[in-house]
């Protein structure tokens, strides 16, 4: 008989060693080792359950639990002897455990499979990742709320088609970003709740003949319930797809924010200034201050979108139950999570510290005929049909373009050339401050509404 690779734990059926290239090609320990804490926690819970049902002795259980604690210490100190020949995080830890404690280590895998083991590990990891994402989202939300309150009175142009549309307040704009993040938080929370189902006990695909107590391991590991179907439990990656979908949506929001920050720091806009510590310079142009953090967040969004597409494609052709294809789920999942958490941390730190150039934002709003709609509304309140008012204001704007003046800079006599309904009080609605203050309803841009929404947001953040 040909010698087998002694370090591998599944070689009983084989008559020759694994090809060296295949060994490297199939190994995943170089990236799934980051699951070591979850793997050890799941193994300890499994061992204690086996002890309770009479499968493991007290001595073996104690040796396993203490041995796994020691292995965790080795990994954290960088002393653990990871081996590609052992394929993955599970077999590396189990082999090291057996090396440390002898035959007791070989009994740990009773009643389980790597299929339900990895599904459990990833769900445990995902639960922690979702919790971290929610903490960062809420910290970012709180920072935006503070910024919104600080800039509740600051006038800026609101845009459609990137053209000046109507005056808004900077605080109102920040609260729009806040609303995006609230929805993101809800998606992650919902995803985390649905992922919190325990596959452990499903074994390879059909369950196990041992008298396991899934309720015990479920309670110890903090899952809401054990999975109801073993086939589904070991092959399901919906929870990863949902997480990546939520991450892709959140990164889309961050990318939109990044695009506006990049525009606003440009001299063409010059609306804001970012702290120097979040920017970089140029190796050749000494005047440059580049918003690299925002640009990288915009760029990392592509990676997260790609991870979602990769996961969907990975799963679309798989029959039940587990297939080795699923080894490919972790790298895009880990990469997307890292990009998401880093981006959230960067923006939660940076955005609330930006400085608004209030005179510049006000002047930009004044230049774009931003109060044209206010003039149309004024005419409607004077009895002019809206479509006629739209035409009247359009002619007034055309004259403003020709003469280089805003509507508020025209004389009463000039404005009355376009409609006899215009009277001296028209200038009350043509000021930028009057325009934003007039939109004083729920969801409006008025400073009073911004302050009310800030108070509601603070109450929500304190309550939840």
- Say whether 343 is catalytic: no
Virtual torsion, Cα 75, 77, 79, 85, nearest 10 deg: 30
- Say whether 161 is catalytic: yes
Q: If you search the block for the tokens 């774009």, which residue do you land on?
A: 368
Closest CA to 57 of 110, 117, 7: 110
List all residues 6 or more positions away from 69 whose beta carbon is below 8 Å from its beta carbon.
40
Q: If you search the block for the tokens 């996961």, which residue do you land on?
A: 311
Query: How many CB atoms are closer than 10 A to CB 456?
Result: 12
The tally of CA atoms less than 13 A away on the side-chain side of residue 114 is 17
Q: How far apart are CA 379 and CA 108, in angstroms?
A: 81
- Dihedral class, residue 89 (left if φ above 0, else alpha if ψ from -120 to 50, else beta): alpha
Beta strand residue intervals within 153-211, DSSP E: 155-160, 163-169, 197-198
Active-site option among 161, 173, 266, 441: 161
Q: In the structure encoding, which two tokens stand for residue 77, read together?
A: 């100190």
Active-site option among 6, 266, 282, 441: 282
Known catalytic residues are 161, 282
């Amino acid at each position: 008989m040909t010698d087998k690779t002694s370090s591998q734990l599944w070689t009983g059926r084989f008559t020759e060693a694994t090809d060296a290239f295949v060994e490297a090609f199939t190994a995943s320990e170089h990236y799934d080792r980051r699951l070591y804490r979850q793997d050890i926690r799941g193994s300890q819970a499994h061992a204690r359950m086996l002890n309770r049902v009479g499968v493991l002795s007290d001595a073996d259980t104690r040796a396993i639990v203490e041995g796994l604690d020691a292995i965790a210490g080795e990994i954290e100190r960088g002393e653990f002897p990871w081996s590609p020949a052992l394929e993955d995080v599970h077999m590396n830890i189990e082999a090291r455990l057996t090396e440390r404690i002898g035959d007791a280590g070989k009994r740990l895998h009773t009643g389980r499979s790597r299929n339900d083991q990895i599904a459990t590990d990833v769900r445990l990891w995902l639960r922690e990742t979702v919790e971290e994402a929610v903490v960062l989202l809420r910290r970012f939300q709180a920072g935006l709320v503070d910024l919104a309150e600080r800039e509740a009175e600051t006038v800026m142009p609101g845009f459609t088609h990137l053209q000046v549309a109507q005056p808004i307040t900077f605080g109102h704009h920040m609260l729009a970003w806040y609303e995006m993040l609230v929805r993101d938080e809800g998606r992650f929370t919902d995803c985390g709740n649905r992922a919190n189902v325990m596959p452990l006990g499903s074994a390879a695909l059909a369950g196990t003949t041992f008298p396991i107590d899934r309720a015990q391991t479920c309670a110890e590991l903090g899952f809401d319930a054990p999975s109801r179907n073993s086939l589904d439990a070991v092959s399901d990656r919906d929870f990863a797809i949902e997480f990546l979908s939520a991450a892709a949506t959140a990164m889309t929001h961050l990318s939109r924010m990044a695009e506006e920050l990049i525009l606003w720091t440009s001299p063409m806009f010059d609306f804001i200034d970012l702290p120097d510590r979040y920017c970089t310079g140029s190796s050749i142009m000494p005047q440059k201050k580049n918003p690299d953090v925002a640009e990288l967040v915009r760029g990392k969004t592509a990676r997260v979108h790609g991870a979602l597409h990769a996961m969907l494609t990975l799963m679309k052709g798989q029959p039940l139950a587990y297939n080795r294809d699923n080894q490919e789920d972790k790298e895009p999942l880990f990469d997307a999570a890292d990009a998401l958490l880093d981006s959230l941390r960067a923006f939660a730190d940076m955005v609330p510290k930006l400085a608004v150039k209030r005179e510049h934002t006000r002047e930009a709003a004044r230049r774009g005929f931003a109060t044209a709609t206010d003039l149309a509304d004024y005419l409607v309140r004077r009895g002019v049909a809206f479509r006629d008012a739209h035409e009247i204001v359009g002619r007034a704007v055309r004259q403003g373009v020709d003469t280089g003046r805003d509507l508020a800079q025209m004389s009463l006599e000039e404005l009355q050339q376009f409609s006899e309904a215009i009277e001296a009080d028209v200038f009350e609605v043509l000021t930028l401050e009057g325009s934003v203050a007039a939109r004083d309803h729920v969801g409006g841009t008025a400073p009073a509404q911004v302050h009310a929404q800030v108070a509601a947001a603070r109450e929500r953040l304190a309550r939840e």
